[in-house]
Amino acid sequence: MEKSVLIAGFGGQGVMSIGKMLGYAASDAGKYASFYPSYGAEQRGGTANCTVIISDEEIGSPAVSKLDMLIAMNQPSFDKFAKKVKKGGSIIVNSSLVTSKVEDSDIAAFYVPANDIANDLGSPKVANIVILGAYIGLSGALSEEDGKAIIKKMLGSKADLLDMNYQAFDKGLQAVK
């Protein structure tokens, strides 16, 4: 098993956080993982992306040319990276901010209104946790338990936020079922 995902969005949408959480979760689950960020020239309000690979074996390139999955958090990311998804792959579209539809019938599309779900839960900040749930629901690279464990670990002392984050995670899982 080797699964690649590129996560892209505006700076500040938590794109790097999702990527790192996937890596930490995979590491804790005893798997190989790589997290490769676009680096250096990014700024707040600009675009950011990272590639995460989770595997049972040693990982080759951390920056693959053909993706198993894309998570497009905003429209420019969808426009730029949708064509990098391989046939049979999938795209998680943050339909709160992306208006385009996936036109290639060989690619499975999942429309998750992450920002709307997060706002309904009372915090726009958990939109990326909704997406984390959607990823785990789809990819098969990590279990639900792995996902919840890493949320708890990352929140650390902010345990009062745990319930809301778990809810966001579950909404993400449900959105792709």
Partner 1 sequence: MSKEFIKGNEAIAEAAVRAGCRFFAGYPITPQNEVPEYLSARLPEVGGHFIQGESEIASVFMVFGVAATGIRSMTSSSGPGFALKSEGISFLAGGQIPAVLVNVSRGGPAIGTIEPAQQDYFSAVHAPAPGGFRCFVIAPQNVQEAADFVYEAFDIADKYRTPVYVLADGMIGNMMEVVELPKMRDLAELPSNDSWRFNKYNDDGSARILSTYMPMGELMQKKNKEMAAMYEAWEKNEQRWEEYMVDDAEYIVTAYGSSARIAKSAVKELRAEGVKVGLIRAITLFPFPKDAFAKLDYAKVKKMFCAEMSIPGQYIYDVQNAVLGQSQIIPIQTSGGVILETDMVVAAVKENL
Which residues would be at the binding site for partner 1 (CB under 8 A)?
20, 23-24, 26-27, 31-37, 39-41, 59-66
Q: Which is nearer to partner 1, 146 or 176 (CB)?
A: 146
As a whole number of angstroms, the distance between CA 64 and CA 141 comes to 17
Least distance from C-beta 67 to partner 1, angstroms? Answer: 12
As a whole number of angstroms, the distance between CA 115 and CA 97 comes to 8
Among candidate residues 23, 27, 25, the one with its CA nearest the CA of residue 35:
23
How many other β-carbons are positioned within 10 Å of the β-carbon of residue 122? 11
How many other β-carbons are positioned within 10 Å of the β-carbon of residue 29? 16
Q: Which is nearer to partner 1, 23 or 172 (CB)?
A: 23
Token pair recorded at residue 31: 């798997």
Least distance from C-beta 7 to partner 1, angstroms? Answer: 14
Least distance from C-beta 23 to partner 1, angstroms? Answer: 5
Q: Which is nearer to partner 1, 41 or 159 (CB)?
A: 41
Least distance from C-beta 150 to partner 1, angstroms? Answer: 10
Alpha helices (runs of H) in the chain, residue ranges in sequence order: 15-28, 75-81, 114-121, 127-139, 144-155, 162-175
Q: Which is nearer to partner 1, 48 or 114 (CB)?
A: 48
